[in-house]
Amino acid sequence: MITKRQLGFIFIGLGGLALIGLLGIDLVRVGNYGGIGPMQRLGLLAAAAFLLVGLTLLPLGHKPA
């Protein structure tokens, strides 16, 4: 059974990978839009939300999710 702490680590990992990927798009310069576009901003907000949810799950410990 998965615990809330493990679920928190999963959310933090997914959010972190999404943030790195979305910011990496600018380094590779994919697309025609220069800078951070509107859809990329929404993705960054969603990734940050995943990180925050993951951080709030960590202190709940080993309770079942």
pLDDT of 31 reads 64
Per-residue pLDDT of the chain (65 residues; tens, 9 = 90+): 999 999 999 999 999 999 999 888 878 876 666 777 888 899 999 999 999 999 999 999 898 88
Q: Where are the domains of the chain?
A: 4-60
Q: Convert the chain into a string of H (helix), E (strand) and C (coil).
A: CCEHHHHHHHHHHHHHHHHHHHHHHHHHCCCCCCCCCHHHHHHHHHHHHHHHHHHHHHHHCCCEC
The number of residues making up the chain comes to 65
What is the per-residue pLDDT for 11? 96
* Residue 46 pLDDT: 96
